[in-house]
Chains A and B, each alone.
Chain A
């Protein structure tokens, strides 16, 4: 009863708050509809309609939720080490986090983009950008594992990324921070920004067969901050649009100094034309260093290569391919509608939304309706490219997605709301408050040619009182809206990990049918695979001890290991012999200075352990696997350096030879080495 009162009181406060703000016609009444719970409810044992891939921001990971339930289905480690499954800790996965700076076990994962074919979601991969040490990741949606991480040279702050062209020909990486480029002298005064700092836009080719990423070319631009971007589609396929701010080229106090001009720009790049220039040999090979890491589901290991060359082309050499469109007030979102005709710019400090027309832009280019140039790049006259402005939509538009029914939905950070408006007549149709201050929003397929306009999720930057207080830090909040009717209706709040920036939602059926259940043990080509318990063994190579171990419900083999000496490095190569869905085994050893392993059925993973104490160190399976999971354990004996305890290993030999009291089992007889088991 008390709770009910509290809820009503909270609602009343809500209404009051909405009332106070109602100098604008806020539709406060629809904040929570009466049947909201029913519409977000997915009964136990039932599946969600959509997978929702959400960036984990400063957690460095990507989370996967079900929509409409908001249930957390998975957290996929991408740019950060994950002790839960040993990602970035195991010998096989740690090289995924190798960069030209060495091992960088964290990044800031900002945006998610799903692969497309013909402008429609195809459910093959998602891409994610690392904003700090510039990187780009590809996640395989068959395994929900990070398959590839490519470092981006000549870049700092890979923010304008990882947006794609409509057949996933390219994935994009645009610099947030302009910097002196890698092979120029970077030891310069910071206040020489205008002279020495450059931006780059990297076009990364994606192999349609296996997804392999290679940097096709980088366009060098004047020093500005690139923020977001989206490719043209349909008729505008062949173009890419990048929002940029700090056209003032400030190098300090950007909060003030990069907000001086009335308009910044959207940079329009005709990438098909750039491709031609590159083909004509107008690009330049430059010496740089960047890491390219690929994970194989066959060898169950990472190949990390340091690449040493990249092709660049200066924007000055790209006449007829790059133009600037003025866009009010530090644009963030740069979004292209499903038809490919309309480009929506969202100025963070603006009180209107400009909508540009692709057709008008082409005509302006043809007629040379320019308004001077920006560092040599022709600036199209604002009105000549403008389709129209959404007037008084709210304060601080950030990002727009589309429902495929002619409507656009824009988040407003400053006025904390989502506004639905009609693309055709630019009229505001509905507005709904969010709690609080949304950044991005996501509609399933909402940036593709074929949106599924049933749900919209707003990812809020501020949580405050939406959930039970948990000290100074709170989970971030996502809010799910039903957008199937004329009015947007809030149906669910759910907390998210890290900071959700962008997200993508994909109809469940496109992905679930391809989801892999096991790795086929017969195709395991790991260098350290143990093909059956008979093959389990322990080998010494100098001060390295290699344990070839198998795991199956419910024992590890071998489970008694002796002859390890202080100063040794022990490598546990654990092969999970299971071939059944959802039966991973874990592996941990006392005192290991890293994490556990979590080994999928048919997989081999390696934990490195450098013993620090003489004595007996237990190891065990960490992931509950059967009624006898708690029995899935073993011992490693560590002797002093120089000890002459011989290297031996066994399973099933109990209490030494000859004194085996185990009931029902002379099974241990002749145990010794696992080889002797028959």
Chain B
């Protein structure tokens, strides 16, 4: 056995000798996108004084909502609701998988709702109200890939459901 180790050592040094010099290392590996992109560098919104919990995080900063309901838009929103939301949400105040929608537009600012439904993963990771809801529902709301137009229409449907005329 000892012999073999000596031989192995010799063989190994031969390897080292023969392969010397090639020390360049792979550095061109493409990196995946960072999963969480926090502009402040803070993982939790509560640590961040600039975070607006009324607005949430996402692309909607200010949304102008007219006083009167856009009935056509609300009808489009209902179609989106049927396909993408109704499995988990009722339009009453009953919780199914997620909370019922009755009164939702009174509980949250439109910006918060639009950000939450278009950017749920980041919101659940950062927003205190979204996190509190997760503790109740225990299911992360899926990202249903809503377009901005769909999201806005859904909001109009929520308003209709909250008796805006």
Contacts and interface: CB of A to CB of B under 8 A. Distances in A.
Interface string A3-42: 0010011011011100000000001111111110011111
Contacts of B37: none
A531 B83 contact: yes
Interface string B1-19: 0001101110110111111
Interface string A644-676: 000000001000000000001111000000000
Q: Is the interface of A mostly helix, strand, loop or mixed?
A: loop
Most B C-beta atoms less than 10 A away, residue of A32, A33, A534: A33
B138 interface: yes
A652 B22 CA distance: 66
Contacts of A626: 139-140
Interface stretch (B45-53, B58-66, B90-98, B124-132): B90-98
B145 A580 contact: yes
B9 A8 contact: yes
Contact of B142 (A12, A49, A531, A552): A552
A46 B31 contact: yes
A628 B84 contact: no
Interface string B127-158: 00000000000111011111000000000000
A642 to B, nearest CB: 35
A68 interface: yes
Interface residues of B, number: 45
B25 interface: yes
Contacts of B20: 34
B86 interface: yes
Contact of A11 (B11, B24, B95): B11
Contacts of A652: 96
Contacts of A580: 142-145
A420 interface: no
Contact of A48 (B9, B29, B83, B138): B29
Given A29-B14, A532-B84, A678-B92, A5 B19 contact: no
A509 B32 CA distance: 11
Interface stretch (A410-418, A435-443, A459-467, A553-561): A553-561
Interface in A538-595: 550, 552-555, 557, 577-580, 583
Interface of B: 4-5, 7-9, 11-12, 14-20, 22-26, 28-32, 82-84, 86-88, 90-92, 94-97, 138-140, 142-146
22 contacts: A8-B12, A15-B11, A28-B18, A29-B18, A35-B22, A40-B26, A42-B26, A45-B31, A46-B30, A47-B30, A48-B29, A49-B26, A49-B29, A484-B24, A552-B87, A555-B97, A557-B87, A579-B146, A580-B143, A626-B139, A627-B139, A628-B138
The 10 closest A-B pairs by CB, nearest first: A29-B18, A8-B8, A579-B145, A33-B19, A532-B82, A12-B8, A15-B11, A532-B83, A533-B87, A580-B143
